[in-house]
Chains A and B, each alone.
Chain A
Amino acid sequence: MKRTLFILMLTILGAVANVRAETEEVAVAIERFDTAEMIVEHVGDSYWWHITRVGGRDLTIFLPVIARERDSGWHIFSSRHIAHGAEYRGFRIADEGRHRGKLIATADGGEYRPWDVSITKTTFALLFNSAVIVALFLWVARRYRRRSWKSVPRGFVGAIEMLMVSIEDDIIKKSIGHGYERFSPYLLTAFFFILINNLMGLIPFFPGGANVMGNISITIVLAFCSLVAMNLFSNREYWREIFWPDAPIWLKLPVPLLPAIEFFGVLSKPVALMIRLTANVMGGHIVLISVTSIIFVAATMGAAASAGLTVFSVIFSIFMTAIELLVASLQAYVFTLLSAVFIGLSRPKSHKTAVD
C-alpha cells in the first residue's frame, strides 16, 4: 500500500512537473485556472461531455439536442453545432442570464426556453447507469434461473442478494409491516438506483464522474415517487390524523392550525428526502473536485509549495474518495430507510384497532 501510494505521488509530481514544463500555452492555462469554473463545469450539466485533452486537443462527445421550437416543431441535432456560442436552427446556449448554460431559442428578436429533452451529460449518465442497473440485475436473475436454488451465490451475485435481503428484511419489512410486499419493488429499485448512480459518479473517467444524484431534477422524481407511495396507498386513519388530529378543538377550529402543520408535514417529508440526497452527493463531488484542484492552483506557487500541496491534495483526495464511497452507500440507505419509515407512518392503525 505504501509503495503504491509512493508511486502514485511520484506520478502526480511528475505529471505536475511535466505540465509546468510543457508549452507556454499550458502554462498560461494553468495561470488562468479558475477553480469555481472547473467545479461548476464538473458538477453541472452540459450538452456535451468533455472527456480529456489529448495532444492539445479536447476529446469531447457531443450529445444529441432534442428541442421543440414554437414555429418549426421538434429538432434533433448534434450539440457540436451549438458549441462555442454558435447558433443552429434558431437554437443556441445562453452564456448569461437566468438560463445560463441552457438551450434557448431565438424568435422574433426575443429569446425563450424551448421544450428541451436533450440528452445532456447528466441525462446520458442517467440512461447509461440505468442500463447498467437493468443489465446487472437481469444478469443476476439469469444466474438464479440457471443455477439450482440450493447453490449459494458468491461474489457480486451474493452481494446483490445480501443487499436485497437485508434491505427488505431490516428496513422495508420492519418499517412498513403488514403489506410491505406492495412497496418492496419500489424501495429496492430506489436503493439500487441511488447506489449505482452514486458509485458511477465516483469513477473519475468516462462514462463515470457525472453528478447525477446531485441534481435536483433527479431527486425530485425520486421524492415524488415516495410522496405517491406515502399518500396514494395510505389509509383513512392517516388522513383523519392530518385533517382532524387528536388535539384540543381550538387548534383545529376556527383556524385549522394543526391540520395546516400536518399537511405541511406531508409535503416536507419528500422535500427533506430530496434536498438531503442532492446536497450530500453534490457536496461530496464539490469537495473532491476542490481538493483535486489544489494541484492546479498550487502549480503557480513555485516548486516546493506545488509539490507539498500536491502530496496533500492526493492524500486528501484518497481519503475523501473513501468517505464518498461510504456516503454513496449511506445516502441510498438513508433515502430507502426514510421512505420506508414515511410509508409505514402513512398506514397507521386506528386507535380502536390498536386498543382491540
Chain B
Amino acid sequence: MSSLLTPDFGLLFWMLLSFGAVFFALSRWAFPVIKRTVAKRSDYIESSLASADEARRKAQDAESLSKTITDEARVQQAEILKKAMSDGENIVHSAHERAAAERDKLIAALHDDLEHQREKAMVELSGEMTDMVLDLTERVLRERLEDPQRQHELVLRMLEEAEHTRVFSGLPDTHSVSPSLPDNKI
C-alpha cells in the first residue's frame, strides 16, 4: 500500500510522457476541429435565431402595418360611404330640384304656349271676325240696298254662326270681344 503513496520515478516518467502526448495530440488535432465545428454551428444557430427574430419583427411590423392600413381603409371606407350617401342624396335632391324646375319650366312654357296659342287664336279669330264683319257689312250693305228685313235677318244669322263658331272653337264669349252691334245702327 505504501507504494501507492510513494512517488515512483518510472510512473512519473511515463505519466509525464503519456499525458504530454495526449495533451499534444488532443490540443493539436482534436479540440480545434471540434471547437471550430461547434463554433460554426453556434454562429449558424445564432445567426438563424437572429434571422428568425428579424423575420418575426418584420412579420410583426407587417401585421402592424396591415392593421393600420386596414383601419385606415375602414375609416376611408366609412368616409367614402358617408360621402357617397351624401352625394347620392345631393344628386337625388338636385335631380328632384332640376326635375321640379324643368317641370315648372315646361309647365310655364306650356302656359306661355297656350297663352300664345290663345292669343294667336284670338288674333286669328279677330281677323276672321273682322273678315266676317267686313263680309257681313258688305252683305248688309248689299242687302240694305235690297231689303231691310232681310238685312236684319242676315245680320242675326251671321251673328248666330259667329256664336256657333266661337262655341265650337272654345273661344271666349264674343260679346266680350266683339263689338255689340246695335240694331239701330245696322
List chain A positions with a Cβ less than 8 A from chain B. 40, 43-45, 66, 100-102, 115-120, 122-123, 126-127, 130, 133-134, 137-138, 140-141, 144-145, 149-150, 152, 160-161, 164-165, 168, 184-186, 188-189, 192-193, 211, 214-218, 220-222, 225, 278, 282
Contacts and interface: CB of A to CB of B under 8 A. Distances in A.
B34 A140 contact: yes
Contact of B26 (A101, A137, A161): A137
A215 B21 contact: no
Q: Is the interface of A mostly helix, strand, loop or mixed?
A: helix
B34 A189 contact: no
Interface in B27-43: 27, 29-31, 33-35, 37-38, 40-41
B41 A45 contact: no
Nearest to A181: B35
Interface in B2-33: 2-16, 18-19, 21-23, 25-27, 29-31, 33
Nearest to A142: B33
B3 A101 contact: yes
Contacts of B13: 117
B177 interface: no
A122 B11 contact: yes
A286 to B, nearest CB: 9
Nearest to B25: A134
B1 interface: yes
Contacts of A43: 1, 4
Q: Is the interface of B mostly helix, strand, loop or mixed?
A: helix
Contacts of B10: 66, 116-118, 120, 123
Given A137-B26, A140-B34, A144-B37, A216 B6 contact: yes
B51 to A, nearest CB: 15
Interface of B: 1-16, 18-19, 21-23, 25-27, 29-31, 33-35, 37-38, 40-41, 44
A168 B38 CA distance: 12
A215 B2 CA distance: 10
B62 to A, nearest CB: 29
A130 B18 CA distance: 6
Contact of A152 (B2, B8, B19, B41): B41
A220 B41 contact: no
22 contacts: A44-B3, A45-B8, A66-B10, A102-B3, A115-B9, A117-B10, A122-B11, A123-B11, A126-B11, A130-B18, A134-B21, A137-B31, A141-B34, A160-B34, A161-B38, A164-B35, A168-B35, A189-B27, A193-B22, A217-B8, A218-B11, A218-B15
Contact of A216 (B4, B14, B26, B29): B4
A133 B16 contact: no
Contact of B12 (A118, A144, A184, A217): A217
Nearest to B6: A216
A164 B41 contact: no
B27 A164 contact: no
Contacts of A189: 19, 22-23, 26-27
Contact of B25 (A126, A138, A222): A138
Given A116-B10, A134-B22, A189-B23, A44 B15 contact: no
